[in-house]
Every structure is written in structure tokens, then in C-alpha cells.
Amino acid sequence: MRYKEMTAKLMSILQDIETVAITTDLWTSVANMSYITITCHFVDDNYILRCAVLSTMSLKDETNHSANNIGDTLSDVLQKWNILDKVSTIVTDNDRSMIKMCENLKKRHLPCFAHTLNLIVRECLSVDNIQIVIIKCKKIVTYIKQSNIAYAKFKAAQLPNKTYGLKQEVPTRWNSAYAMLERILATREALGQVLLTTPKSPPHLTAEEVNVIMDIVKLLAPFNDATQKISAGATVTISLIIPFVCGLLENMEDIKTTLRTDEGFKMRELLVANIKKRLLEYEKRTPTRIGTLLDPRSKKEAFLSPLNVQEATKLLENEISNINRSLDITQETSEPPTPIESSQPLLKFLKRNIAQMIKNCRTDSIITLRQYYQSANIDENRDPLKYWKRAINDTTLQLYAKRILCVPATSIESERIFSKAGIIISNKRASLKPSNVDKIVFLSKNQWINE
């Protein structure tokens, strides 16, 4: 009963929304069943960014993960919610089948920025000399966590100061390696005492290895910060991608003179090369570059390439003109033309030209767009949607800002469902029907609908 009520409410909400963005991803339950999760993102009439879980279900054909099968499953869900034609962008990981699926559905695809960052950092962490240090750290962490005596000594060695636990790397998350290394640095004196005084303990880190870890942590700190901020679900993130790419490159340049080891220098060079290879492309993608322009915190100032700024500006002007043209057509078909009268027949053409000019000034937002560029950027901590809510001088820009700023920078929201669903489909509840899983997740993650 409650599921039906919330479904009806969400259906009613989506009916009034003009444009939405979608994230989706696949995962496997403890019962070895393949699921697809689909989330929907949009800006409501109060200029609040909303995220709704549409479905968590098994694929139509559970025997394959092909682009056609994923696309058919996704299409059915979107048609069920009557939003297939409203989807502007689909955000997924970089898997080929996902990219092909978007092509089949003729929808714009945006690679998950967090996933792309993960690929960059993972490649750097897999370099031989770096990997040797990480493996040694993992062995130390495992030993401390598995030995009651060693763990007790580790806590005692940190007293009377604040005691920290150790963090272990998780292979699927690069920033878990960063967290592990950062914690080892923070507790290295206590670790040294334990490893030197406990029999059969793994070898302690050498001074050179500590320097390598310091360099790694220093290099990865900006990536960790970017990953955390870009993964927010309740705030605008699409417009953060291009500024963060520029910021990462600048940080890599600033860090250069502070590195201590050859491994650090080599890792920095590889990070920079991968940023340029994988991330600069975001300046050429429509959602990211238009989103950056329409974020009053960044506008044109966040781009690295002046050429990309020019292209993005031209594209936005074309988009605004298209919206205005469609609004003109709507007005012309809904309102009868006003007869042009003049007391002086010879000046009738003048009144006609004035009327046309007034109409163009009313519907053309290009001038307003340029005024927007020239106005002062708002503070980086302010909400861009609140800015557009108050910018009532041009409804066309407001409309397009809502369309583009609803696109999330990552597919994190659909991935977050994995954790929630993993708790639901535990070993003790592995036989839950997919339909029940869908309802439980829907009710759990869409509580905002009842607010």
C-alpha cells in the first residue's frame, strides 16, 4: 500500500518535470543474481536538486550483460515512469556495454568522473616500486588487525595521545589505499614500536619507504578531495568537473618541488599524463562545459583552454536561441497576431519594425547571457540553484540552467544502492524475490517524497 502511494506521488512529480538525468549500474547479489539500479535526477520547481531511485531489478535476460539487454531493461523502466523522452543524459562507468547502450537509446552518455579518477589513480598505484610499498603496508595492517597482542600494543603505544585504528585497502576503491597510507603515516612511531618488539611481525618500513609513502599521500590528497566533493548527491556537481581538472593539474605543478623520492616524481608524471589523456576531454562534452558556464561560481573562468570556452559559449547561445524559437512558435500558435495600425500609412512599416524589435528583445536571451557573464561570480560555497531561483529576469536561462545542472557528475548514487541492497539481501535473506528487493530499496531511498 505504501509502495503504491509513493509510486503514485513520484509519478505525479515526474509528470511536471521537463528534463531529467539518469545514472545506472549493474551489481551482483550474494545470491549471485544480477541487478540493475536506475536513479533519476532533476531540479524541481523550488530549485531543489532531487534524486529518486526508480528501480532495482534483475535484467530482462539474466544470461548476459550485453548493451542491447541493458538498454531494453532500462528503456522499459523509463517508459514505465513516462520519462524516456525527458532523459537528457545517462551517467555510467566507462564500460563499453554502457556506452553502446546509450548509443542504442540515442541518449547522451557522460562517463562517471569518479570512475575515471579511479582508473587514473589505480594505474599509478600499480607501478612496480609503488606497489611493493603498498603490499608491505597491507601486510603490516593485516598483522596488526589479526593479532590481539599486536593490536593491544599498538593502542598502548599511542597513549596518552588520541588512538587511531588502521585502515585496510579495498581493491575496488583507490581512495582506500590513500586512507591506509595516510593512517600509517599518522601512526608510524607506534607501529615501529610494535613491529620491533613483537615476535614474528612483518618488517618495519624503512626511512626511504616512509618518504615514498609521504610522496604518494601528498600526490593523492587532491584526488581524494575531488572524489569526495564530486560524489555529493544533494548538490550540483556537473559544473565541478572542469574546475577540478584544472585544479588537479595546478596541484601537480605545485607539488613538484616538494617531492622527496624518484618514485614520487615518476608517479607525478604519470598522474599528469593521465589527467591530460582522460580528463581534458570533459571540456569538450556538452553537459560539463555548459554546466560550467551556467554555474555562477565558475562561468568562463574555470576552463583551461580558451578555444573550449569559445566553443562552449557558442553552443550555449545556440541552445538558448533554439529554446526562444520554440517559445516563439508556441506563442504564435496560441495567440492571434495583433493587427498593426498607424495613423500615418507611410510609417506603417516603422511600427511593424518596432513591434518586431520589441518581440525579439523579449524572447532573445543572448544579451542577458552576456550580462550574466559580466556580472560578478558568486562565492564558491553558495548554491548555484539558489542563484537561478532568484534570477527572474530571464526565464529562458533559468529553464536551461535547470536542464543542465540536474546532471550528476558521477554514477555514485546508483552505486550507493549496492550497499543498501547488500544489507537487505544478506546471507540470511538471499532468497528475497527481486520484486520485493525493488520495493524495499524504493521505500528506503525515496523518503523525501513524503516530506
Residue 260 has a pLDDT of: 95
Residue 356 has a pLDDT of: 57
Whether the per-residue pLDDT at 361 is higher than 60: the answer is: no
Look at the alpha carbons of 385, 386, 389, 390 in this order and tell me if their dihedral is positive or negative: negative
* Distance in angstroms (rounded) separating the CA atoms of residues 90 and 81: 16
Q: Give the DSSP H/E element, type plus range, for residue 224.
A: helix 207-230
* Distance in angstroms (rounded) separating the CA atoms of residues 284 and 154: 50
* Overall average pLDDT of the 165-176 stretch: 87
pLDDT tens track for 207-257: 999 999 999 999 999 999 999 999 988 899 999 999 999 999 999 999 999
Taken as a whole, the chain contains a residue count of 451
pLDDT tens track for 311-344: 999 999 888 887 777 655 444 444 555 555 555 6
Q: For the residues of 378-409, what is the DSSP string, one character each?
A: PPTTS-HHHHHHH-TT-HHHHHHHHHHHTS-S
Whether the per-residue pLDDT at 274 is higher than 90: the answer is: yes
For residue 413, what is its C-alpha cell?
548514487
Angle between helices 96-105 and 67-80 (to 10 degrees): 50
Q: Is the Cβ–Cβ distance between 437 and 425 less than 8 Å? A: yes
- For residue 230, count other CB atoms closer than 10 A to its CB: 20
* Distance in angstroms (rounded) separating the CA atoms of residues 105 and 75: 8
Domains (ranges, CATH) in the chain?
A: 2-112+411-450 (3.30.420), 117-284 (no CATH), 287-405 (no CATH)
DSSP-based helix, strand, coil % in the chain, nearest 5: 65, 10, 25
> What mean pLDDT, rounded, does the chain reach?
87
Residue 272 has a pLDDT of: 97
Across the beta sheet with 20-28, what order do the strands follow? 49-58, 34-43, 20-28, 87-92, 108-111
* Overall average pLDDT of the 293-300 stretch: 96
pLDDT tens track for 138-150: 999 999 999 999 9
Residue 387 has a pLDDT of: 93
Model-level pTM greater than 0.75? yes
* Distance in angstroms (rounded) separating the CA atoms of residues 192 and 132: 19
Residue 425 has a pLDDT of: 58
Residue 273 has a pLDDT of: 97
